[in-house]
Amino acid sequence: MICCTIIRQLCDLFSNIRVSVGRQEQTKQLEDVQRRALRIIFGNIPYDEARRTYNILSLAERRHELGKRFFQGVIKDKSNVLFYLLPAKRDVELTTRLRCATQYPTIYARTNRYKNYFILFGLNHFQ
């Protein structure tokens, strides 16, 4: 399938580049590329229907899943070079008594730049 082997790989490559200026416009342009590619490959099937039928995620969904999988890999592998950036784990005795227990504490940030930092974003959204 051409979409999954060539076009999708290029879109994923460019969608993982984190650029704060014009990011939404670039994401929209990449989504338009995927929309056109699906229209060329599958004909006049509506975009959402083609995605559902052939189990194709949108670029935003795929980027979210890739980030989640990567962050969970960082948490599981102590030899990962990013592991040392994680805060100390919570006490097991404390987490067993909590309703919504997480391994690592939630860190709050004031600036958007720091909120979107990979480790903080992962701690707040993926654990």
Per-residue model confidence as pLDDT tens digits over 70-116: 888 888 988 888 888 888 888 888 777 878 778 888 888 888 878 77
Give the single-character DSSP code of 6: I
Residues 126 and 82 placed together within one structural domain of the fold: yes
Both tokens of 98, joined, read: 């909590």
Both tokens of 85, joined, read: 């950036």
65 touches 126 (CB < 8 A): no
Residues 74 and 114 placed together within one structural domain of the fold: yes
Per-residue model confidence as pLDDT tens digits over 107-120: 888 888 787 788 88
pTM here is 0.66
Give the residue numbers spanning the domain of 20. 1-56
| Distance in angstroms (rounded) separating the CA atoms of residues 95 and 102 | 7
Residues 52 and 63 placed together within one structural domain of the fold: no
Residues 33 and 78 placed together within one structural domain of the fold: no
Residues contacting residue 58 through CB under 8 Å, at least 6 positions apart: 31, 34, 51
Residues 80 and 39 placed together within one structural domain of the fold: no
